[in-house]
Amino acid sequence: MEQDGYETLYRSEGYSNHLHADADLGRVDFIWVDDATAGKIATSTRRLTVQHLELPVPRPEYLIAMKLQAIRNDPGRRLRDLADIQHLMRVPGVDLEEVRDYFRRYDLLHEYDEVKP
């Protein structure tokens, strides 16, 4: 990312955040997962074109699961990530039962009713 002009704002074992000086290229977050999880995610991505780049985008349910893991690992992320989750839960076709199960898996079921559409 740095070779492509991005500044690394934050890096941990499971997450990194990068910002480009060109606002059109914006901010990019990476959530690092194990090989098994990466394989599962990769088999269900769709391709989107952003700034002439074709990028794989995970299902909203998987993005929600990763944000829930981030909240569990760093409770200071709660408000920011719950707002993102609430937005993702409104994407047409999202499987809310699957999402509810992710909340349960990460011991955050008490948050589900707060953000469900």
- Where exactly are the structural domains of the chain? 1-32, 37-117
Which tokens go with 61?
């349910």
Q: pLDDT for 88-103, tens place per residue?
A: 999 999 999 999 999 9
Q: Is residue 29's pLDDT more than 90?
A: no
CA atoms of 92 and 32, how far apart (whole Å):
26
Identify the band that residue 25 occupies on the pLDDT scale cut at 50, 70 and 90: confident
**What 8-state DSSP symbol labels residue 108?**
-
CA atoms of 47 and 57, how far apart (whole Å):
6
Beta-ladder partners of 31: 15
Threshold 0.75, pTM exceeds: yes
Q: C-alpha angle with apex 15: 59 to 32, nearest 5 degrees?
A: 55
Q: What is the mean pLDDT of the chain?
A: 91
Of residues 51 and 96, which shows the higher confidence score?
A: 96
Buried b (16+ CB within 10 A) or exposed e, 90-110: eeeebeeeebeebbeebebee
